[in-house]
Structure 1
Amino acid sequence: MIEQMKESAIAFYKMAYEGNPRKATELYVGSEYIQHNPEVTNGTEGFIEYFERMQIEYPQKTIEFVRVIAENDLVSLHTHQIWPNDDQYVTMDFFRFDNKGKIVEHWDAIQQIPKKSANTNKMY
């Protein structure tokens, strides 16, 4: 079940990010969707509205999945995102799954990659 949850989390996020959040929620979200990102309203419609807006405003954005970590009913995705004007971010998204293998809760942390760093280590 852990490997399936990891695959589902990646497929869900990639599908939404690349412009089809409604299909992503239909395929991967359970009977509820609790959202902890303060920029997105609770429930699937808030998620869909957010990602549809991002696709219209920033169609050229890209995402790379750097790490996927899973334990019990949680999956974490560590990503590197590139937005217009080389605006880059590192994100960490956490998804909780129900006993049917569907996503029911989401948390995230987003940090912009600065143009200068005190070290040469990547943030991802």
Structure 2
Amino acid sequence: MNLENNKANAIAFYRTAYMGNPKEAVNLYVGKTYIQHNPDVEDGKAGFIAYFERMQQEYPNKSIEFVRCIAEGDLVALHTHQEWPGNDQYVTMDFFRFDDDGKIVEHWDAIQQIPKTSANPNTMY
């Protein structure tokens, strides 16, 4: 496993899909199968493409910042800050599993809306 390549490919995959081209993201970065654990997205490549095509149609002005990227073994974790229309902001943590060919084959995530107030002065990053 080349951890640096996997990290770069996880970021490129997510950025490409998020910014409106999920078909290209799948063609370039996904292996033979794609196992999806997010309950809002159908399993497989077609489900991933359909979800991100819909998000691009409904929310073309969204943005993403990659705050952290950590790799170990066949896993890459991304910590992101997403901003959606109306200043709706989210923290996400995405985990991708790579196959032996360096292609993404499985995905998990956790998403939390950034609250308007906090009990402490620290950011969520």
Q: TM-score, normalised by structure 1?
A: 0.99
Q: Does 1:25 align with 2:26?
A: yes
Give the whole-Å Cα distance in 1 for the aligned partners of 2:92 and 2:116: 17
Match of 1:81 in 2: 82
Where has structure 1 moved over 6 Å in runs of 4 or more? none
Give the whole-Å Cα distance in 2 for the aligned partners of 1:121 and 1:15: 30
Give the whole-Å Cα distance in 2 for the aligned partners of 1:91 and 1:13: 12
Question: 5 Å matches for 1:17-96?
Answer: 17-96=18-97
Tell me the number of residue pairs that the alignment of Structure 1 and Structure 2 aligns: 124
Consecutive unaligned residues of structure 2, counting only runs of 5 or more, are: none
Matching residue's letter, 2:27: E
Q: TM-score, normalised by structure 2?
A: 0.99
Match of 2:14 in 1: 13
Query: Displacement of 1:120 after TM fit?
Result: 1.2
Give SS of 2:123's match.
coil
Give the whole-Å Cα distance in 2 for the aligned partners of 1:20 and 1:87: 22
* CA-to-aligned-CA distance 1:73-123 (integer Å, 9 cap, x gap): 000000000001100000000000000000000000000000111111110
Consecutive unaligned residues of structure 1, counting only runs of 5 or more, are: none
Match of 1:121 in 2: 122
Report the RMSD for the aligned CA atoms in angstroms. Answer: 0.4
Give the whole-Å Cα distance in 2 for the aligned partners of 1:87 and 1:122: 16
Match of 1:101 in 2: 102
Give SS of 1:85's match.
coil
Matching residue's letter, 1:81: Q
* CA-to-aligned-CA distance 1:5-37 (integer Å, 9 cap, x gap): 000000000000000000000000000000000
